[in-house]
Structure 1
C-alpha cells in the first residue's frame, strides 16, 4: 500500500494497487513517511475502507486525537465483545468507541467525571451491562486505566448500538429512554414491579427493541391478526389492553409513531405475561 497522508504517527491514509483508499492503524506507522512511500501489511494492525465511513462523524478530529494505545484498547474490547456478546463492529462503531475511550481518558486525567441517569440500563440490558463492567476491569488490569463506574452505562450504549446495527449511540440512548418509560407505565398501571430477571422480561425487552428498529426504519409488520382476535383480546384482558393503549399514546406523543391494532395486541400479550395476572 502507498502512503498518502498521516492523521498522526499511528493512523494514515493509504491507497492499494486497485486505487482503493484505506485508513490503516499501526504503532508508528506514519512516522517520517512521505507521499508514495510503501506501507507494509505486517505493520498494519487494523484498516478501514474510507467509503465505509460517512459524514456522521468528524473523521479528522477523531483520527488526529486517538493514540495507538487507545486504538489497542479499542481493538481488545472489540475482540472481547465479539467473543462474549457475538457482535461485530462496523468501521463507524469502532471509531466512535475509540473516540469515547479517548475522551474518557482525558476526563479521568482532568478528574472530570460524566454523570448520567441510569434509565435502568442494567435492568433493560443486563448482559451488555455486565460485559461493560468486565471491560472496565479489563482496562484496569491490562492497561492500568481506571474508568469510573459511570462509564459502564456509556459502554453499554455502545454495545447495544452495535447489536442493533445502528451507527449512532444517540439512537440507542433515545431507545433506552423510551423503553424505560414504557416499563414505568406498565408498573404504574399494575402497581407492581416487573421481574427483570425473568425470561418473559427478557423477551419483552427484545420485542421492544425490534419494534423500535422497525419503526426507526419505517418497516411495517408482516403478521396481521384477525379482527376477531383483536376484539377478543381487548374484551378478555381490558386492563392490559388499556395499558397498551396508554403506551401507544405515549409513543405517538414522543415519536409520532402510530401503533397498528396488531402491534397493540402483541404488546398486550407481553404485558399479560409480565404481570402474570388476569384483568
Structure 2
C-alpha cells in the first residue's frame, strides 16, 4: 500500500493494490514513513476502507480536531473488543469511537455528564458489549486521569452494538421495524389507548421491543428457567399478561417460536409502565 498523506504520527492515508483509499493506523507509522512510501500489512495495526468522499472528508477533519492519543486509545479498546466478540465489526467503529472519546473527555473536563437512561437495558440485554464499555471506561480513566461514570460504559457499549454487522443487516432492520410496529398495534388495540410517544416509558418500551426483536430473529431469548417472577406477575398484572400472551400468539403464528417466561415477564413490566398513566 502506498502512503498518500501523513495525518499524524499514528495515522496515514493510503491507496491499496486496487486503488481503494484506505486509512492505516499503527504506532509510529506516520513518524517512520513519508508520502510515497510503500507499507506492508505487518507494519499496520488497523486498516479502514473509506467507502465514499464524505467519510473520507469526515475522517480527515476528525484527525485535525482530535489528539493523537485518542486514536491510540480507540485502537486499544477495539483490539480488546475483537477478543470478546465473535462478530465482525464495521470499520466505522474506529472513527465513531475516536470521535466519541474526544467529545466525552472534553465534556468530562468541563464537568458535564450525560445520563444514560437505557443503562439497565444495555446491561441486561448486551452484557458482552457492556463488559467492553466497562473496560473502556477503566482504560480511559487510568490513561487520561479522568473520572468517567458507569453511564459512559453504556454509551460506549452502544457503539459496539451498532458496529456488529453481517450481510443480512438490511433485511433484519426491516423485519425489526415490522415486528415493533405489530407489537405496538397489539398493545394499543388490547388496551384501546393512544400511547404517549413523548414519555420516557414509551422510549423505554420502544427500546425494549427493538432489543426483543433482535433476540427473536437471532434465536437468543432470555431464559433463566426461574418461574418466580412469572408467578408473581400472573397475580399482579393480569391485563398486561393477557396482552403479552397475544404478542406470544403473534410470534408463534408469524415465526413459529414461543416466548420464554422471562421474555413475557419483561414485556409485562414494560407494558404496565407504558400504559399506566394513559389508562388512568
Answering whether residue 23 of structure 2 is matched by residue 23 of structure 1, we say: yes
* 1:14-53 pair list within 5 angstroms: 14-30=14-30, 35-39=35-39, 43-51=43-51
> How big is the shift at 1:207?
5.2
Secondary structure at the counterpart of residue 89 of structure 1: coil
Say how many residue pairs are matched: 214
Partner of 2:254: 263
* 1:214-229 pair list within 5 angstroms: none
Partner of 1:147: 148
Partner of 1:220: none
Write the distance in 2 (CA, Å) between the matches of 1:79 and 1:127.
14
> How big is the shift at 1:41?
5.5
Partner of 1:12: 12
Secondary structure at the counterpart of residue 120 of structure 1: helix
Secondary structure at the counterpart of residue 128 of structure 1: helix
Answering whether residue 209 of structure 2 is matched by residue 209 of structure 1, we say: no
Secondary structure at the counterpart of residue 112 of structure 2: coil
Query: Over residues 234-266 of structure 1, what are the superposed CA-to-partner deviations in whole Å (9 max), with x where a residue is unaligned?
Result: xxx997553354799xxxxxxxxxx77723874
> How big is the shift at 1:146?
3.3
Partner of 2:98: 98
Query: Over residues 165-206 of structure 1, what are the superposed CA-to-partner deviations in whole Å (9 max), with x where a residue is unaligned?
Result: 599xxx9xx99xx7xx98xx8xxx9xxxxxxxxxxxxxx997
Which is further off, 116-125 or 38-47? 38-47
Write the distance in 2 (CA, Å) between the matches of 1:77 and 1:32.
24
Query: Over residues 105-159 of structure 1, what are the superposed CA-to-partner deviations in whole Å (9 max), with x where a residue is unaligned?
Result: 2222222222231363223333432442233223334554432322121012122
Which segments of 5 or more consecutive residues in structure 1 lack a partner in the other structure? 190-203, 214-236, 249-258
The answer to whether the 8 Å contact 1:26/1:44 transfers is yes
Partner of 1:65: 65
Which segments of 5 or more consecutive residues in structure 2 lack a partner in the other structure? 192-208, 219-237, 266-280
> How big is the shift at 1:27?
4.0
Would the alpha carbon gap of residues 212 and 102 (structure 1) be closer, same or farther in structure 2, given more than 3 Å must change?
Answer: farther
Supply the RMSD in Å over aligned alpha carbons: 4.5
TM-score w.r.t. length of structure 1 = 0.57
> How big is the shift at 1:100?
1.0
Write the distance in 2 (CA, Å) between the matches of 1:37 and 1:127.
40
Write the distance in 2 (CA, Å) between the matches of 1:41 and 1:264.
45
Write the distance in 2 (CA, Å) between the matches of 1:272 and 1:111.
39
Partner of 1:233: none
